[in-house]
Structure 1
Amino acid sequence: MAIDILCVGKIKEKYWNDAISEYAKRLSRYCKLDIIEVQDEKTPDNAPPAIEMQIKNKEGEKLLKYMDPKALKFALAIDGKRYSSTGFADVIKDESTMGVSRIQFIIGGSLGLSDEVLRNCDRKISFSDMTFPHQMMRVILLEQIYRAHRIINGEPYHK
């Protein structure tokens, strides 16, 4: 199974990069992981909604270039479906059994994902009603993907 994480913006803080590297290393025994970062657009303070829409659309165009039409694509969105860790593992296992060989998770920038990106995703997934920084969301997502693989393989995991 190949898993891509498509995301807006680079991570500058060492502690986030260290956590991402650790989970990438752990996941290497279960799947081929690729993290694809696209450049974020500068958002002026107090930008009007029309400018925010333009920014989301520009970031969306960059993400769309990497979205694989054959992959199962999950948009991380606050209004997406919520899963328990075991439910999330079941989705990955079931899709793999059905022949899906690539899953892509798409994380937007500070303004979220464009409508075009959302339309091109197969599912939306939410981890909470709360908003998280995109750097933290990458770590949370990687941890849950790792946990899912541990569950799928019948290995111990923290409950």
Structure 2
Amino acid sequence: MNKINIYQIAKSSNDEFNKIIEDFIKMSSKYSKIEIHNLFNKKIAKAQTISDIEAKKSYSEVFEPFLNSGYNIALDVLGKRVDSFEFAKLLQNSAVINFYIGGAYGFEANFLQKCDKKISLSELTFAHKIANIVLLEQVFRGLCINNNHPYHK
């Protein structure tokens, strides 16, 4: 059983999206341990009011400590588009898989270069909660594909 971490620049909240997120985590728990890490601090809040460059720099500072702990996949609009079967293969790459969802201004190019893979969920930009749900659904679908569960059909 592998572990999947989702690191995102977001404040923790308890709203109607959380039930859906929790449901996907629970359904996936048979195959993988999934944790969501909301990363937001005063430095990020301030940086976002200064410029996109400062904001991206502050995102990298909170993300980079986690880069040494597994296979790192950044979700980026310019990343490679993959289908569900290619996505499922990504979930086989490591005992620990880290997904990164950037802040309002995306990622620094330097951070993206440090990641093992850059993928796009869509050409559309999603709010964090929506991106989270889409990602978790694809994680569950990929785990089902990898474990011959009929969900993906």
TM-score calculated relative to the size of structure 1: 0.85
SS at match of 1:157: helix
More helix by share: 2
Deviation at 1:86, TM superposition (A): 1.6
CA distance in 1, matches of 2:82, 2:148: 19
The 4+ residue runs of structure 1 with deviation greater than 3 A are none
Unaligned runs of 5+ in 1: none
Which is further off, 9-18 or 53-62? 9-18
Query: For the Cα contact (< 8 Å) 2:145–2:152, is it kept in 1?
Result: no
1:114-153 to 2 correspondence within 5 Å?
114-153=108-147
Query: For the Cα contact (< 8 Å) 1:11–1:135, is it kept in 2?
Result: no
Match of 1:35 in 2: 36
SS at match of 2:104: coil
Deviation at 1:114, TM superposition (A): 2.1
Unaligned runs of 5+ in 2: none
Alpha-carbon RMSD across the aligned residues, in angstroms, is 1.7
Query: For the Cα contact (< 8 Å) 1:8–1:37, is it kept in 2?
Result: yes
Query: For the Cα contact (< 8 Å) 1:7–1:109, is it kept in 2?
Result: yes
SS at match of 1:25: helix
CA distance in 1, matches of 2:132, 2:118: 16
Q: Which amino acid aligns with 2:96?
A: R
Query: For the Cα contact (< 8 Å) 2:74–2:115, is it kept in 1?
Result: yes
CA distance in 2, matches of 1:121, 1:90: 17
CA distance in 2, matches of 1:59, 1:81: 21
